[in-house]
Amino acid sequence: MKVVIFKGGLGNQLFQYTMYCWLKERFLHVKALDFCVEHNGLELDKWFDVEIEFCNKIFGPFFGLVIRLPQWIRNKIITERFHYHEDGLVLYFNDYWQSKRFFPSGKWVRFKNLPLNEKNMATINKIVDTNSVALHVRRGDYLQSGNATLFTNLCQTDYYGKAVDYICQHVENPHFYVFSNDIEWCRHNIPLKDCTYIDWNTGKSSIYDMYLMSKCKYVIMANSTFSFWGAYLNENANKVIYPEEWYNGFKDETLDIFPDEWIGM
């Protein structure tokens, strides 16, 4: 049996789901293990049309105990990509699988018919009627000590300045829709003329930021898997701009996730 471990936030869960589907096309016995204890837990099946067969009940008490341990201990227990289980041969896939090899044209991932509140519906109508540009900024958890080594000083104002200038040179009358987990920082650090700050989709409603991003005609990404899927699920985007440095010390060619037509800066 092959078991894909689901962990991390929604963006990472989407990558793990594409690996799950990739394996399902090639092998008979593929299941999933819910290890999502961060952010909002497992969200994938809540917001997307997905079919996942979980095996938590099979492995029962052991993983139930592991999930309740502190994160640093969990990471010590499940650190390798492949493992054997005492009840038989089980191959675990424990990674983030950020590679184009595992998702052909995004066919495995589709939003459900999400219920929209009045504010989001009105915003979508405006997005459709304008040269809408989604601009996503990821801060918040990226500033915490555990993430600082990977993300400190990436996607700063110089990156967004270049991306905004590029859009303004190539798009007539662009209107920017700013998405972030630190909207106040965006208000004070990214000067924009025609702009709407999306500051109401917070907490468990943050999925609607991704959904609205997927409706815009242009996208300026952050170095975030949430940002990536907002752009990748967008079937109408004319241009997508992404940061060439995804993590500190790693350029985009090491990741192999960006479509050739996207623009790196």
Q: What is the pLDDT along the chain (265 residues), one digit of tens a residue?
A: 788 889 888 999 999 999 999 899 888 889 898 878 777 788 899 999 999 998 754 454 445 444 444 555 555 444 444 444 434 566 778 888 888 888 765 567 899 999 999 999 999 999 999 999 999 998 766 555 555 555 566 667 889 999 999 999 999 999 999 999 889 989 999 989 899 999 999 988 999 999 999 999 999 999 888 999 999 999 888 999 999 877 666 554 456 888 889 999 9
For residue 128, the model assigns a pLDDT of 95
Instruction: Return d(Cα 45, Cα 251) in angstroms, integer.
Output: 32
Q: Both tokens of residue 244?
A: 């060439």
Instruction: Return d(Cα 174, Cα 178) in angstroms, integer.
Output: 13
Segments of the chain assigned to CATH 3.40.50 = 118-264
Domain 118-264: assigned CATH number: 3.40.50
DSSP assigned state of 48: B
For residue 67, the model assigns a pLDDT of 46
Instruction: Return d(Cα 108, Cα 136) in angstroms, integer.
Output: 24
Contact 102, 26 (CB under 8 A): no
Hey, which residues does 48 pair with through a beta bridge?
111
The H or E element containing residue 58 is helix 56-67
Instruction: Give me the phi and psi of 88, to 5 degrees please.
Output: 150, 180
For residue 194, the model assigns a pLDDT of 93
Instruction: Return d(Cα 221, Cα 201) in angstroms, integer.
Output: 18
Instruction: Give me the phi and psi of 7, to 5 degrees please.
Output: -155, 170
